[in-house]
Amino acid sequence: MTIDQIQDEIINEFSLLDGDMEMTVFYVMELGQKLPDMNASEKVEDNIVKGCQSKVWLAAKLDGGKVFFSGESNTAITKGLVSLLIRIFNGQTPETILNANLYFMHKIGMDRFIGTQRSNGFAAMIKQMKLYAIAFKTQLIEK
């Protein structure tokens, strides 16, 4: 699936909640619970996302020209947000990640339920994922 198709799928899922804030927050936390546990070896200082109020770890690997992410957070809502980004970017090429236009946040009204601090942290997560994509793109060019 393309990044836009995945975003549209997420928008559709959230639209079923009909703007109910409590249900939306609960759903985000549920998504986080479904995120596979990150390997303990990846939960290191180098993988902590700077700029997040909660502790967030993000790791990435390049396999067959595609990027695969793992992530974790010490708070349920933030872990749900990490899971959304991983769902969107997992299995995409570095180039696709770098050119992605993320619009799902606005369409699902995310700003209404995550607040300013988490918004800054969410932006930091996106930035970190794009930095991984830049590094992998460079690796692919050098081969």
- Per-residue pLDDT tens for 27-40? 999 999 999 999 99
- Topology of domain 3-142, CATH: Sufe protein. Chain: A (3.90.1010)
Give 9 or 118, the one with higher predicted confidence: 9
Label residue 91 exposed, middle or buried (CB < 10 Å: 0-12, 13-18, 19+). middle
> How far apart are the C-alpha atoms of 41 and 128, rounded to whole Å?
19
> How far apart are the C-alpha atoms of 81 and 128, rounded to whole Å?
14
Please tell me whether the overall predicted TM-score, pTM, comes out greater than 0.85 for this model. Answer: yes
**What would the pLDDT profile of 49-88 be if each residue is shown by its tens digit?**
998 888 999 999 999 999 999 999 999 999 999 999 999 9
Contact by Cβ (8 Å): 102, 55: no
> How far apart are the C-alpha atoms of 118 and 47, rounded to whole Å?
18
Angle, CA of 66, 49 and 107, to the nearest 5°: 70
